[in-house]
Structure 1
């Protein structure tokens, strides 16, 4: 491999830019290809668990990102009337040595990654660059060659489609709507999730009094996914879930069907590796999509900076990541089954079982999700900027 090796990264989202930054901090040259005409993301929040914050610390962005978000210091699970089903799980998590969950707008995380790469002559970012084909020896569209190609192009990855033709994306049968809003009502709002009968919703406070909310229901015809439908669907629910919908405008609501990727047998093919949703798109029920993409970036860069042939380095990444992403994909899928339970009797049984679960069990389950640490030698030695 050349003294200053070159990585071609397909996809300019969180996973792609994080991987670019992780490789630049190890002296790689990077070219990022983004099919959209600009790199931006608006209108949605993101929860960063301690594992994601550890990854951001390695990338030199930890303090900066923490300054843009809000720690989730209170919250648990409720029924749709607002009655608590659990104790204050988030307060318990926040009191742990490694802290709890940070909430911020996705656009702020994406901007931090962009700013950290800005002005670097060894970074090329090409927008409007749709990729038609990738080969296992790291050639993109028959012209652009890298020492490695990294597929960071999301659920419907062109890289995965080219080299993993049997990969299967399946629907969960659920549809989600997301928004960020602000209410004049001064009542304090904590975080957490609310479960109804086949529907569920979540809420997280953001800085400056804003709130990030999501609403999930069984799949309905696309024509029914307009704002008035959601407003009516969640009108009987507890404060402030219906109030946020009532105050929203149609362009503030992001609505999409939820899909997951059937777990892959490998995340590498020759000189090509997958990260983020391209590698392991899963249901959002554990809040680990972006968190795992940040982990991938750190671990892939560490593997590529080790000795040996490129194929051996990538196989090391594969061995490291597969057990964890398979485990969390399975847990996330399972975690999405309980809130989707419908029917009065089944819902009552589910809620009773949740109430009987000791708080410590819930806390341990959350901590088990975030039990990742960067590989040895990957600790960040300087901030990315500032």
Structure 2
């Protein structure tokens, strides 16, 4: 069977490796880091991602490490509720559940599956150069001196400084969107779990909106939560000392409602990270010769999309579907048509997600008081059932699991 090389062992790369190996392809993964990355606090596997994980046979393992989200509450920075999304209805519309999971646990589930399938991950393989070989494929040169000449290459090497994106588009500079995220994980003793204000049977995301600031709390359980604070500010140097960041955040959000102060103060210092948020302008060009971009190096949305990792997981599923249709192992000349079909299938949804995330970020990090009051007023008066239906249609587009006309 045809050998497929995957550049990058993140969520998209590992998901692709699993799906392609399950279809019988000979898959090899090359990762720049020395091990599986643990960068990031957590993600929500919304129903579109859960559908793919179920197709991969991994949803039970994910659920064992995850929380099942029931509600998402929007609040102002005084703790006043602006509105509540019923995630149970979203799940019913789309046909799968929404799970919150620490990123390290998601990565471990994916990596364990990759290992069980016999897929080799070559670590310490930083791409140095990519050279077109015409019909013979692509030459990938690594900084350690090794090189490969795969017939088909899937690039999932991330949003920042992707060598594959540079090869395909001639540019790979992500655009800073004017705000910084601070992320972390808080795990409490059972006796302190009440500080989280969570019910095990109705876990809720709490999304606090302020003036040029935001703070989100995502529960895994009644005593474990991952969080993200954010604020608009100029691009600066990343602070890597978690203790310094913790002190700064306690001051930055000192006037915000509980449990924000409790969550920050009980956070594991080593989990606290500072990230200046970048995305890519949508492009309709995702491939060159026999190399295809997937995930963040093709379409990197802001975290305000709630869909970054989910769309990478979706990419893997759609690629698997099209490989079954085009069967490039029988005809290498079919690769360009396969890649073009993939791009056409995925471009509209991913570009709309990227642009919607930018628009939402502009609203969240607006510092004009009149605009903030208008934003909060609209949130108070919104029809949340219709918002949920819209989310189902948007996130479920292109997937058989979504039945947007179905009533929960």
TM-score (norm 2): 0.86
Partner of 2:164: 159
Q: How does 1:169-188 map to 2 (within 5 A)?
A: 169-183=174-188, 184-187=192-195, 188=197
- Unpaired runs of at least 5, structure 2: 199-203, 402-408
Is the contact between residue 21 and residue 117 of structure 2 (CA under 8 Å) also seen in structure 1?
no
Q: How far has the Cα of 1:266 moved from its partner?
A: 1.6
Tell me if the contact between 1:81 and 1:237 (Cα under 8 Å) persists in the aligned partners.
Answer: yes
Q: Partner of 1:349 in structure 2?
A: 374
Measure the CA separation in 2 of the matches of 1:303 and 1:75. Answer: 35
> Corresponding residue for 2:50?
53
Bigger shift: residues 285-294 or 158-167: 158-167
Q: Distance in 1 between matches of 2:153 and 2:339?
A: 11
The Cα of 1:119 is off from its aligned counterpart by 4.4
1:186 is paired with a residue of what secondary structure? helix
Matched-pair contact (CA < 8 Å) for 1:134–1:162: yes
What stretches of structure 1 of length at least 5 have no aligned partner? 377-386
Q: Is the 8 A contact 1:302 1:375 kept in 2?
A: no
CA distance, structure 2, for counterparts of residue 64 and residue 24 of structure 1: 19
306, 320, 338: which one aligns with 2:345: 320
Kindly indicate whether residue 121 of structure 2 is the aligned counterpart of residue 131 of structure 1. no
Query: 2:50 matched to 1:31?
Result: no
CA displacement at 1:287 relative to structure 2: 0.9
**Structure 1 residues 215-242: Cα deviation after superposition (integer angstroms, max 9, x where no partner):** 0101254377722111111111111112
| Secondary structure, counterpart of 2:256 in structure 1 | coil
Question: Do the aligned partners of 2:42 and 2:226 also contact (CA within 8 Å) in 1?
Answer: yes
Given that 1:194 and 1:200 are in contact with CA atoms closer than 8 Å, whether structure 2 keeps it comes out as: yes
Q: What is the SS of the residue equivalent to 1:74?
A: strand
Distance 1:364 1:195 in 2: 23
- Check whether the contact 2:305–2:354 (CA below 8 A) recurs between aligned residues: no
Tell me, in whole angstroms, the C-alpha distance in 2 between the residues paired with 1:315 and 1:75. 37
- Distance of aligned partners of 1:111 and 1:124 in 2 relative to their CA distance in 1, 3 Å threshold: same
* Residues 375 and 158 of structure 1, relative CA distance in 2, 3 Å threshold: farther
Q: Pick from 321, 344, 355: which aligns with 1:330?
A: 355
Name the CA distance, whole Å, in 2 between partners of 1:345 and 1:374: 40
Look up the SS of the partner of 1:306 in the other structure: helix
Q: What whole-Å deviation, never above 9, does each CA across 1:207-264 have from its counterpart, x for those lacking one? A: 3620111101012543777221111111111111121112235322111100001111
2:318·2:342 contact (CA, 8 Å) conserved in 1? yes
Q: 1:91 to 1:302 in 2, by over 3 A?
A: closer
CA deviation string 1:269-323 (max 9, x = no partner): 1111011101101111121011000010111122123235112112221111111
Shift of residue 135, structure 1, vs aligned partner: 3.0
**1:197 partnered with 2:211:** yes
| Equivalent position of 1:78 in the other structure | 75
SS at 2:131's partner residue?
coil
3-state secondary structure, aligned to 2:165 = helix
Alignment partner of 1:109 is 2:106: yes
Distance 2:104 2:273 in 1: 14
- Is residue 2:310 matched to residue 1:291? yes
In structure 2, do the counterparts of structure 1 residues 243 and 17 end up closer, same or farther at CA, with 3 Å as the change threshold?
same
Contact 2:6 / 2:17 at 8 angstroms: preserved in 1?
yes
Q: Is the 8 A contact 2:168 2:286 kept in 1?
A: no
Q: Mark the CA change 1:320 to 1:95 in structure 2 (over 3 Å): closer, same or farther.
A: closer
Q: Where does residue 380 of structure 1 map in the other structure?
A: none
Q: Describe the superposition over 1:313-363 as per-residue Cα deviations: whole angstroms up to 9, x where unpaired.
A: 122211111111112111111121111111332211211121111122321
- Length-normalised TM-score, structure 1: 0.90
The DSSP-based 3-state class of the residue aligned with 1:24 is: helix
- Across the aligned residues of Structure 1 and Structure 2, the Cα RMSD in angstroms comes to 2.1
**CA separation in 1, counterparts of 2:39 and 2:282?**
29
| Number of residue pairs matched by the alignment | 372
The residue that corresponds to 1:22 in the other structure is 19
Report SS of the residue matched to 2:325: coil
